[in-house]
Amino acid sequence: MKALHCLSYGEPPELTVADIDEPLPGPGEALIAVEAVGLGGFDAVLLGGRYQERPSLPFVPGRELTGRVLAVGEGGDPAMVGARVAAIAFRGALAERTVAHLSHCLTVPAGMEAAVAASFLTSYATGLYALEDCGRLAAGETVLVLGGAGTVGAAAIDLAKAMGARVVAAASSPEKLEFCRARGADVLVDYADPNWRKELAGRIGGGVDVVLDPVGGALSEAAFRSLAPRGRHLVVGFASGEIPRIPLNLPLLKRASIVGVDWGGFMQKEPDGNRDLMRRLGGLYDSGALHPEPSSVHPVGAVADLLMGFLERRSVGKPVVRVEFGAS
Ligand SMILES: NC(=O)c1ccc[n+]([C@@H]2O[C@H](COP(=O)([O-])OP(=O)(O)OC[C@H]3O[C@@H](n4cnc5c(N)ncnc54)[C@H](OP(=O)(O)O)[C@@H]3O)[C@@H](O)[C@H]2O)c1
């Protein structure tokens, strides 16, 4: 079968199309014919060689996919054969066929297109886990979404609106803020402006109840200082490349919490909790409250440039790759 091979890490990484053996599904795994792959900031950091884990080279990248189940391994539910799933494969998704554990597969809701499904799972599951399970966001509260035009940020705006919150989206350019407005954000803040915190306080008349933070760096402490008493700061990631240090007198003085969000760890270590999360996510989607969509759809040959788009802060929303090697 054909697959995209990463030959060397880098910015951009060296990628080539290769003929490799088809994977075999192990116990509890599904063999999936891949239709589309969603990319995120994680893929760019991994292939740039800056993630703590470095798969040995060459390897097939791609973490999040949509496709049809062709076969299941020992102990897998045979009724899943033929199902269309959104799945997390961790790696190996940018190939004609891949394997994923069945507990990391979500049946795609009827009528959801492949590209939409590939833009949905990681960003929306992370957003719901962050806002509902970790942040206890309640209707009527105000949430500040940093990096609002990123893959996680865009999903968090949509989810927070569905949960009845007032959403402040923060980003670094007017174009990105316009994207956040179109996703439903109520208030827009350009954090490239050094006075952004003052602007924010004036516009919302006080502090925010929840901060969703996939960015890190200097922005994190500034955002924490914008929390209202009993606020919750949700640590989702460090897209800025810098892990911040927050003085612990700040949570004490505000009676506020810093909460770590790791959906990947939750999915692997708490499968029952994750099944419940997936049920809630599916219910929200079926109710019509969510609006997942890829920001753009690309051929396989565009992967290296899409990864650079994340690293160079050009990327907006969730780009999806259609897995058709003839067309790349
Ligand atoms: N904890 C979890 O369960 C979980 C799940 C998924 C992803 N993540 C992590 O969350 C982070 C964000 O992922 P994502 O897919 O949303 O990434 P993304 O689409 O690239 O969005 C990140 C945003 O961060 C901002 N940013 C600020 N400085 C940046 C820099 N130096 N380089 C790149 N972006 C910068 C950018 O917005 P502005 O230009 O507007 O500032 C960008 O839109 C990553 O660290 C990822 O690994 C965590």
Pick the atom of ligand 1 nearest to 170's CA. 40
Residue type, 264: G
Which residue, judged by its Cα, is nearest atom 29 of ligand 1? Answer: 240
The alpha carbon of 312 and the centre of ligand 1 are apart by a number of angstroms equal to 11
According to the model, what pLDDT value does residue 52 have? 85
Q: Which residues line ligand 1 (CB under 6 A)?
A: 40-42, 122, 126, 147, 149-153, 171-172, 176, 214-215, 236-241, 261-264, 310-311, 313, 315
62 backbone φψ class: left, alpha, beta (φ>0; ψ -120 to 50)? left
Across the 328 residues of the chain, what is the mean pLDDT of every consecutive 10-residue run? 97 97 97 98 95 93 98 96 95 97 90 94 97 98 98 98 98 98 97 96 94 98 97 97 96 97 95 94 94 96 98 97 82
Q: How many CB atoms lie within 10 A of CB 324?
A: 14
3.90.180.10, 3.10.20.30, 3.30.230.10, 1.10.3720.10: which CATH number matches 2-120+292-327? 3.90.180.10
The alpha carbon of 237 and the centre of ligand 1 are apart by a number of angstroms equal to 7
Task: Delimit the domains of the chain by residue range.
Answer: 2-120+292-327, 124-264
The alpha carbon of 150 and the centre of ligand 1 are apart by a number of angstroms equal to 6
What's the pTM?
0.96
Q: How many CB atoms lie within 10 A of CB 276?
A: 12
Judged on CB neighbours under 10 Å (0-12, 13-18, 19+), 264 is middle
3.40.50.720, 3.40.50.970, 3.10.20.600, 3.30.470.20: which CATH number matches 124-264? 3.40.50.720
According to the model, what pLDDT value does residue 327 have? 47
Which residue, judged by its Cα, is nearest atom 2 of ligand 1? Answer: 262
According to the model, what pLDDT value does residue 29 have? 97
The alpha carbon of 256 and the centre of ligand 1 are apart by a number of angstroms equal to 24
Which residue, judged by its Cα, is nearest atom 25 of ligand 1? Answer: 147
Where would I find the H helices in 82-228? 114-118, 121-128, 151-162, 174-183, 196-204, 218-224
The alpha carbon of 238 and the centre of ligand 1 are apart by a number of angstroms equal to 6
What is the number of residues in the chain? 328
Which residue, judged by its Cα, is nearest atom 31 of ligand 1? Answer: 240
